[in-house]
Amino acid sequence: MKGTILSIAALCVLGLTSCKKDYTCECTYQGTGDITVTEKHDIKNAALDDAKSTCDKYEENTTFNKTCTLL
């Protein structure tokens, strides 16, 4: 009985971590002058780790000092 409950709990945890959904990556940086620019990028149908990786790439692929956060 304990083994069955632990197996079901493990499957539930795996199911929650592997689901794909839509995320938003928000990036901010200093534009010309004192203007702060905010960009939002939609990341569709992605697992959390993939969405984080994609958001990090938005931060890396620029000449500006961007800070990106996964929402």
In the chain, the N- to C-terminal Cα span, in Å, equals 40
Higher pLDDT, 7 or 56: 56
C-beta separation of 60 from 37 below 8 A? no
Higher pLDDT, 33 or 3: 33
pLDDT at 49: 96
Instruction: Please tell me what DSSP assigns to residue 10.
Output: H
The angle at the Cα of 63, spanning 60 to 64, to the nearest 5 degrees, equals 85
Domain extents in the chain: 20-70
pLDDT at 22: 97
pLDDT tens, residue by residue, 9-54: 555 555 555 699 999 999 999 887 889 999 999 999 999 999 999 9
pLDDT at 67: 93
What the block records as the tokens of 13 is: 């945890």
